[in-house]
Amino acid sequence: MGYPIRISVEGFVYHITVRGNGRSDIFLETRDFLRILKRLKEYKEKLKFFLYAYVLMPNHFHLLLEPTARGTITKIMQTINTAYTMYFNKKYSHVGHVFQGRFHSIIVEKEPYLLEVSRYIHLNPVRAGLVTKPEDYSWSSYRTYLGKEKNPLIDTQLVLQLFSQTPEKQKINYKEFVEAEIREPKFRLWENISLKQFIASDEFIKSTLKVRP
C-alpha cells in the first residue's frame, strides 16, 4: 500500500506524529530528550515555523506546528528526523531505521480544533500511565502553558488568547480545560486518527483541497 498524498501548504497548522521503528523506544535517557529539543530550537530558528505544543514520549513524539514560507512541513520534519537519526545511531551503535516510516501529519483547522489538539498532545503521558497529572511530565510544553517554566521554543499565545482574558486567567482556564478531559473524557475525534488527513470541518477540508499544490 502506498503512502497517502501529503498536503503541505504554508499557513496551516499540522499535528505531527513520529514513532520509533517497530514502536521501539527512541529516547533512552535524559540526554536524548534534550538533544531533540535542542534540534527543534535550532531548526525553528532556521526554518521559521511556529511550535504550539509538543510531547516527547519514550517511543514517539507529537508536535503541533505551523510552517512559514521558509520551510515546508516535509523539509522541517526531514531535517529534524535526519539529525536525530544520525545522533541516535552514532550514540547507540545502532544500524538501520530509527523511525517508523514517514512521519504522520494531519492538517488542523485552528478554530475550534487547535485547543483540542493541544489538549490531546499534553494528555499523552496521562493516557500512557506515566503520570497522573500532565504538569508532572517533564517532556512536554504543558508546564510552559501554565507558566511554571519558561520555554522560548513554544508559541503559547495563539492557544491561550482563545480564552480572551488576562494572562493569568488564560493559564488557569487552560489548565481547567485540559484536566476536564481527564475527569470526564468527551472528545472522540481521535478514533482511527492514524487514518486521518484533517481535523477540521467539511467546509475547511473542501477549501483546503482546492489550494493543494
User: What is the tens place of the pLDDT at every residue in 4-62?
Assistant: 445 555 578 999 999 999 999 999 999 999 999 999 999 999 999 999 999 999 999 99
The pLDDT-based confidence of 2 (bands split at 50, 70, 90) is: very low
In a domain, 210, yes or no: no
Give the separation between CA 47 and CA 45, rounded to whole angstroms. Answer: 6
In a domain, 189, yes or no: yes
In a domain, 3, yes or no: no
For residue 82, the enclosing domain spans 13-199
Considering its fold, how many domains does the chain have in total? Answer: 1
Give the separation between CA 160 and CA 183, rounded to whole angstroms. Answer: 21
In a domain, 4, yes or no: no
Q: Apex CA 111: angle with CA 108 and CA 112, to 5°?
A: 95
Reported as half-sphere exposure (CB side, CA atoms, 13 A), residue 109 has a value of: 14
We report the CATH number of the domain holding residue 54 as 3.30.70.1290
pLDDT for 7: 58
Q: Hey, what's the cell of 169?
A: 486567567
- The 10s digit of each residue's pLDDT in 183-200 is 877 766 655 555 577 786
In a domain, 1, yes or no: no
In a domain, 6, yes or no: no
In a domain, 213, yes or no: no
Q: Hey, what's the cell of 203?
A: 467546509
Compute CA distances 198 → 103, 106, 194, whole Å. Answer: 15, 5, 11
60 within 8 A of 26, measured Cβ to Cβ: yes
Q: What is the pTM of this model?
A: 0.89
Give the separation between CA 65 and CA 178, rounded to whole angstroms. Answer: 19
pLDDT for 3: 47
Give the separation between CA 88 and CA 97, rounded to whole angstroms. Answer: 10
The whole-angstrom distance between residue 61's C-alpha and the CA centroid of its chain comes to 7
| 197 compared with 128, residue with greater pLDDT | 128
In a domain, 208, yes or no: no
Q: Hey, what's the cell of 120?
A: 490531546
Contacting residues for 186 by C-beta, under 8 A, at least 6 apart = none
Secondary structure of residue 30 in the 3-state scheme? helix
